Structure 1
């Protein structure tokens, strides 16, 4: 295994930011990962896990051993007439995995088409889009303890999934390397196309009786129309979470702002689109030198080229302060800031 020194991470973060890793290694198997974690030469060196870099804002160089899980493979573990169980390596590109499932007719992840990143990041973030979260199809997650090098299997329940959350972002943050995940998918899928944009796009496509491929294609069309391609404009997708506020607070806001959208979470909580709040606070399309807020989606902060992570972080703090002042809502960041 080759440990490199002073490696640029520009190609491993979708913001396209210049940051260097003091040390860097690709690991292609669980055994390779365990070996580097057990190696006395690196035992006391801080470790930093970096997958596809699609949900991270690098504000400085990383003075650590950056481990990039490059464990790939999609294996059928179990199959019957109704379902199929797939074990997938953490290094697989998420969208490639989704397309594999669509090609095979396996339902459950089609609504998560075109989400950037790797399979290993999916459970950590509990990625979600258009009415589906990845927790609904995960059976278990395989991970390795950074301190001991020991392998552990986390059940769905043990992952403690929440809204863009998991145990790997909370109590076990920086303690485990996710090496793979196991998914249970449907061979006789029930489609989730309740979102208005999805229904509208399916109608425009002429998909009267849509398939999982139709749903996948519709969602890709929507995402491409609303979100910038990181290969063209550096970004990490949604920078902020959609806030969930008490029903009473939402009712008060609706008196002040009758057009404010809200979606019931439960009897006591309403979810408000962060993009709407940011746009109404005047930030949509804002540009400051080489960074800014995307012109079509206020939820996305962008690096037009040559921007810095520190400047993007400072902009995000200005946006949070502005939204809080106007609406009394504190936005929480979805992106991991380092």
Structure 2
């Protein structure tokens, strides 16, 4: 465990926004959490858990103690005829975990390649892309209670996964664990035999372009990486938090109403009869692609991504986001909800 004071967070958030932590604690094992909680000046203080910093917009200096989770490790826990169970430390970079699995002959995460962030943050957000969500591959996780210091193991049901949601984002008054625990290890269940997840437009286009109707895991991984790189900016070069807004879910009636006015609406049917709308399409239709407010802008290749054009503040990002929300609501009657946490 390392404790640092007055630490800049600019390099620890993928948007590259300016903020300073009065106290930053680096955690590399469960015992570090308990040691930190035992310190009088830190134990009862509010906590902000920071993984890869890819799902947060810092608009001010955090008043809480910032916990930087850096738990390492990758291993195959179990192998059965039905699945491989793999475990990663919460501090492992998510894309590195996907690649590690493929390199060790353990496919199943290909559609989630290149999603920014760490393994520990993946269940919090229930990350997803190209027809797959983390919940589809989740087995269990270990976490430490930030009040008692006790270790707990949560299964899929206990995590209460939803669309970009989990128990770790939900209010403690409603049984949630927001701000109450820190994830230290995550176990994933990779089904056997492997079956590709192909029901997504961009992947179907790749199949048509290449003539490959049954891609193997490495080919699917390469496709997803290429698709993401073509659409999304590298946070190492252009500050961003990936997809900024959730794709809204509407009733069939609402979907038909919008299509009647905008026939080119990009939408996807869901199993319950509702439809998921492409938030990026809605934003683009309102003319925001490539536009800026101050030093925050909308990425030229993908309207769903807000970027730091250089020296942007969190306030500028929030101002831009709210202007987009108002624009989309005014045209479509739909309220877009941000994916990242606005602090």
What TM-score results when the alignment is normalised by the length of structure 1?
0.96
Rounded to whole Å, the distance in 1 between the matches of 2:214 and 2:283 is 37
Instruction: Report what 1:330 is aligned to.
Output: 335
2:37–2:44 contact (8 Å) kept in structure 1: no
Instruction: Report what 1:285 is aligned to.
Output: 290
Q: Say which is worse superposed, 176-185 or 267-276, in terms of deviation.
A: 267-276
1:107–1:188 contact (8 Å) kept in structure 2: no
1:80 pairs with 2:94: no
Instruction: Report what 1:304 is aligned to.
Output: 309
Instruction: Report what 2:114 is aligned to.
Output: 114
1:202–1:214 contact (8 Å) kept in structure 2: no
Instruction: Report what 2:260 is aligned to.
Output: 255
Q: In structure 2, do the counterparts of structure 1 residues 148 and 267 end up closer, same or farther at CA, with 3 Å as the change threshold?
A: closer
Instruction: Report what 1:24 is aligned to.
Output: 24
Q: CA RMSD in A?
A: 1.4
1:227 pairs with 2:240: no
Q: In structure 2, do the counterparts of structure 1 residues 212 and 298 end up closer, same or farther at CA, with 3 Å as the change threshold?
A: same
The Cα shift of 1:179 comes to 0.8
The Cα shift of 1:206 comes to 5.8
Cα offsets for 1:294-324 (capped at 9, x unmatched): 1111100000110001110011011101110
Q: In structure 2, do the counterparts of structure 1 residues 209 and 32 end up closer, same or farther at CA, with 3 Å as the change threshold?
A: same
Q: Say which is worse superposed, 221-230 or 71-80, in terms of deviation.
A: 71-80
Q: Give 5+ residue unaligned stretches, structure 2.
A: 171-175
2:292–2:320 contact (8 Å) kept in structure 1: no
- Residues 31-180 of structure 1: pairs in structure 2 closer than 5 A: 31-170=31-170, 171-180=176-185
Name the count of aligned residue pairs.
338
Cα offsets for 1:147-203 (capped at 9, x unmatched): 111111111011000101001011211111011111111353111122231132245
Rounded to whole Å, the distance in 2 between the matches of 1:256 and 1:199 is 27
Task: For residue 22 of structure 2, give the secondary structure of its aligned residue in structure 1.
Answer: strand
2:111–2:221 contact (8 Å) kept in structure 1: yes
Task: For residue 5 of structure 2, give the secondary structure of its aligned residue in structure 1.
Answer: strand
What TM-score results when the alignment is normalised by the length of structure 2?
0.95
Q: Say which is worse superposed, 46-55 or 283-292, in terms of deviation.
A: 283-292
Rounded to whole Å, the distance in 1 between the matches of 2:210 and 2:91 is 33
Task: For residue 42 of structure 2, give the secondary structure of its aligned residue in structure 1.
Answer: coil
Cα offsets for 1:223-247 (capped at 9, x unmatched): 0000011111100011000000111
Q: Say which is worse superposed, 219-228 or 170-179, in terms of deviation.
A: 170-179
The Cα shift of 1:282 comes to 1.2
1:107–1:190 contact (8 Å) kept in structure 2: no
The Cα shift of 1:205 comes to 4.7
- Residues 210-249 of structure 1: pairs in structure 2 closer than 5 A: 210-249=215-254
Rounded to whole Å, the distance in 2 between the matches of 1:105 and 1:239 is 33
320, 324, 329: which one aligns with 1:319 = 324
Rounded to whole Å, the distance in 2 between the matches of 1:186 and 1:103 is 17
Instruction: Report what 2:8 is aligned to.
Output: 8
Task: For residue 230 of structure 1, give the secondary structure of its aligned residue in structure 2.
Answer: coil
Task: For residue 164 of structure 1, give the secondary structure of its aligned residue in structure 2.
Answer: coil
1:147–1:175 contact (8 Å) kept in structure 2: yes
The Cα shift of 1:291 comes to 1.2
The 4+ residue runs of structure 1 with deviation greater than 6 A are none
Q: In structure 2, do the counterparts of structure 1 residues 136 and 25 end up closer, same or farther at CA, with 3 Å as the change threshold?
A: same
